[in-house]
Homo-oligomer: A and B are copies of this chain.
Amino acid sequence: MSIKVYGFWRSIASFRIRVALKLKALPFEEISIDILQGKQFEPGYDAVNPEHVVPTFIHDGHSLYQSLAIMEYLDDIKPTPRLLPDDVKERAYARSLALMTIADAHPLTVPRVRKHLAGSFGADAHAIEAWVTHWTVEGLAAYERFLERRKPAPFALGKEVGLADICIAGQVVGAQYVKVELDAYPLVKSISDRCFALPEFKSSRPFEQPDYKAAGGKH
């Protein structure tokens, strides 16, 4: 089985895929597409992914797109350990939590949006950081409110780490980019701390990636 991932060190969606693959113990090769430099819009990458985003996941020559679809696929092709619970209501809750960052908080903070803010509204670096911080905090706060109603035990769905935790950890990665502390979100923090104690999460962090290090650690 050959797995290739077109990703980028700073991409939170790429982070999710890295963690999922490592939890599944599936070896993969990651090819770096510098989305800060706009490499995702070049013709070579258009052939790989016509949406011009990362990650793209290629399994034995078959391409898949979108981090949630890829994580679900991994659960389908290698069910153990499971990322989504078996129970139908629990699966739905895991997906609900996952989508709060995937469909609501994270899309507002990606490079093409930051760039368009600058182009459309003349937003400077400070204003763009304030924008990213706002939506990052909104996402953390929404998670905290959900976790208050159903406490981590110790992960979001219970004893096993899974899809929801990967997505919450990704939201925390985004918080670190804009230096948002987690003190106001203790339940998010408790999940994040448990996640990042695991080698699969730790080694998937942006600043641990070879393309970050190759770029001289600039971000």
Contacts and interface: CB of A to CB of B under 8 A. Distances in A.
A148 to B, nearest CB: 8
B127 A66 contact: no
B52 A142 contact: yes
Copies of this chain present: 2
Nearest to A59: B89
B99 A146 contact: no
Contact of A69 (B70, B96, B108, B145): B96
A91 B72 contact: yes
Interface residues of A, number: 47
Given A127-B121, A146-B51, A92 B72 contact: yes
Nearest to A130: B120
Nearest to A51: B142
Contacts of A100: 51, 65-66
Contacts of A53: 104
A163 to B, nearest CB: 11
Interface string A54-98: 000000001011101110110011000000000011011101101
Contacts of A92: 64, 69-70, 72-73, 76
A151 interface: no
A104 B116 CA distance: 14
A21 interface: no
B77 A93 contact: no
A142 to B, nearest CB: 4
Contacts of A134: 116, 120
Interface string A30-51: 0000000000000000100011
Nearest to A52: B142
Given A50-B148, A72-B92, 19 more contacts: A50-B145, A50-B146, A51-B145, A51-B146, A64-B92, A64-B93, A65-B100, A66-B100, A68-B95, A68-B103, A69-B93, A72-B95, A73-B91, A76-B91, A77-B88, A99-B102, A99-B103, A103-B106, A121-B123
5 contacts: A73-B89, A99-B102, A107-B108, A108-B113, A120-B134
